[in-house]
Amino acid sequence: MSIRLLIATHNRGKLREYQEMFADPAIELVTLDDVGIRDDLEETGATFAANARLKARGYARASGLLTLADDSGLEVDALGGEPGVRSKRYAGENKSDTERVIFLLEKLRAAPRGKRTARFQCAIAIAAPRGELWECAGVCEGEIAFAPRGSNGFGYDPIFYLPARGVMLAELSAAEKNQISHRARAAAHAKIILEGMRAVQK
């Protein structure tokens, strides 16, 4: 039996990542736009996990569908963990990815090599319309580079350096990124949860 799963996003790039990470014909992924939901729920949680829960529960109620929501972002040690849950709004509302990258690099201008450690965090919540909730998380460790490089990915990927590989996250292919990214690691756990649901339905 197949599962119709609402991915709580308008971001087509994020949808493509989930399609590649799940790669299961028995899991049909749809977006908020696909089901006619135009409004965004305000992310008022103090943590990634709290925001993921808020969105998963809210959109599951609104759509009547099993819903997966994630909240993810960048934590930079030299900035005390910023931008954190404000990663998308760090440079201000409605800024482009390029503007956010420039803003962050300016904040880190005085931080030398070796003092630019950072991590991407991802929290995933899966909510059923009746209220059941499942949660998982993933982390990807790296450093903030001095200048952007690479054209794959989105957000802060062009300045997120992976020391073990010697490349930016934005220089990896989608297949490579979906093996090591914070979202991929959280999604691997989410996929196990979904497969368990399918097994129960059979």
Q: Catalogue the active-site residues.
A: 71
Place of tokens 């998982």: 136
Parallel, antiparallel, or unpaired: how do β-strands 66-76 and 3-7 relate? parallel
Structure tokens at 160: 């997120």
